[in-house]
Amino acid sequence: MPNKAFALLAPVAVALFAASPALAAPNVVATIKPLHSLVAGVMDGVGTPELLIEGAASPHGFSLRPSDAGKLEGADLVFWIGEDLETFLDGPLETLSANATKVEMMDIEGMTILELREGGLFEAHSHEEHAHEEDHDDHGHEHEDDNEGHNHEHGDAHIWLDPDNARLMVAAIADALITADPENAQTYNTNGQAIVARLDALQDEVDARIAPARGKPYFVFHDAYHAFEQSFDIEAAGSFTVNPEIAPGAGRLTEIRSVVEQQGAACLFAEPQFSPQVIQTIAEGTGARIGTLDPLGADIADGPELYFTLIETMASNLIDCLAD
């Protein structure tokens, strides 16, 4: 697959940058683990970025701690997905990171941003849990920040799950780092090219491996996987909740179970960031298996390898549950 996402620096420019002694790396913050992984890969050999949302925490309901505020205050560069995902950053980026360069991945030219799916169990505007969201949003309280950017003005924010988008992200990351830290331009450029080559190979490998799982009906906890599905030609039949912070009510559970049975769903996928109880309740008596899909890599060690392990693990979990 030809790489169109990563522009080489001019050799003369690289030589000029390389001729200067390397200085300390800029202070860099990345919000979510997959984005942090790509940033860490580009910075490899120069420095290590700070991760804002650690462990199994979800950006959908994240609240800044004093230590998180300190990371943002000390940042020279902040990489984030965008206001449709990290809604809690709308104010803090302007105050805590006022002097930092902020790079929003959803603003990158050429980024594929899919529309939110509606119809069937992807209806986003008619279910009781969504009405519950709106009740809370009217008061401007914390649930507005917990809401998965549910204004959804810009589409599906889970853009990193498409390796084509990841290539664009790597190019933007390298460009921002080179601008902020030209003394280390050659390293950023070389690392970026290596990551893009690995993304090409990863996409080809997963595309071949996932073939046996195509065409099997399955359901996901919330609609976080559209970018992955479109990239690898495999599509969920629906999702169980609009806002992953709010469990579906009894009426919604009855509706979901009915559709799961009608479609003969092979698998229902939970997420490690949220309680699996809803999935277990729906699966009872349907014959559907329960699997796990994780869009963030909660259980994967932070660092440059996380992104590649994340995509490989998602493919493996889909195959294991669907390809029997």
Tell me, yes or no, whether 1 lies in a domain: no
In a shared domain, residues 268 and 165? no
Residue with tokens 């099997």: 216
* Both structure tokens of 30: 């990345």
- For residue 123, is pLDDT > 90? no
Q: Above 60 in pLDDT, residue 131? A: no
Mean pLDDT computed over every residue of the chain: 84
pLDDT, position 254: 83
Is 316's pLDDT higher than 80? yes
Q: What is the reported pLDDT for 94?
A: 93
Residues 239 and 191 in one domain: no
Which residues span the domain enclosing 55? 12-114+156-205
pLDDT greater than 50 at residue 51: yes
276, 291 contact by CB (below 8 A)? no
pLDDT computed for residue 14 by the predictor: 47
Question: With 70 as the cut, is the pLDDT of residue 144 above it?
Answer: no
* Domain endpoint, select from 172, 205, 238: 205
Q: What is the pLDDT of residue 145?
A: 34
| Residue 103 phi, psi (nearest 5) | -115, 110
> Does the residue 140 lie in any domain?
no
End-of-domain residue from the set 205, 239, 265: 205
Co-location of 162 and 261 in the same domain:
no
Number of domains within the chain: 2
Residue 285: pLDDT over 50 = yes
- Pick from 47-56, 142-151, 285-294: least confident: 142-151
Q: Rounded to an integer, what distance in angstroms lies between the CA atom of residue 102 and that of residue 125?
A: 32
Task: Tell me whether residue 291 is in a domain.
Answer: yes
User: With b meaning 16 or more CB within 10 Å and e meaning fewer, what string describes 160-199?
Assistant: bbbbbbbbbbbbbbbbbbbebbebbbbbbbbbbbbbbebb
Q: How far apart are CA 203 and CA 224, in angstroms?
A: 19
pLDDT digit string (tens) for 193-226? 999 999 999 999 999 999 999 999 999 988 899 9
Strand order across the beta sheet in which 238-241 lies:
238-241, 218-222, 267-270, 289-292
Q: Provide the pLDDT confidence category of residue 251 given band limits of 50, 70 and 90.
A: confident
